[in-house]
Amino acid sequence: MSNNAKISIENLNIKLPPGFGRRADTIARATARQLAQLPIRTSARLASITVPSIVLQGGETDTVIARRVARAIHRQIRTSRRKGIRHVD
C-alpha cells in the first residue's frame, strides 16, 4: 500500500543572518529536498506555520542548515496535526 501524502509549499520564507544572503536560494532548495525525504503519513492543508529560530553555527554547510530547517518544519507539521488541523485526501 503506497502513501500518497505529500508536502506542498507555495512560499518558503527563510530569514538568514547577515552574510548568508547569497546562500538563501541554495538553502531553500536543499530544504525542499530534505523535506521530501522525511516521512509524512497524511496530507493536511496548513495556511502557514512558524518555525522557532534556529541558531546557526559557524562553518555549517548549506546542506546541514537545510537539514536543520527541514526537521524544524517537519516538527511543526506534526505538532499542527496533533492540534487538530483539518486533513485532506
Cell of residue 49, nine digits = 506555520
Torsion angle of C-alpha atoms 18, 23, 16, 67, degrees rounded to 10: -140
pLDDT at 1 over 50: no
pLDDT tens string 31-86: 989 988 888 877 777 777 888 888 888 889 999 999 999 999 988 888 876 665 55
Cell of residue 44, nine digits = 493536511
Cell of residue 24, nine digits = 538563501
Are the C-beta atoms of residues 62 and 23 closer than 8 Å to each other? yes
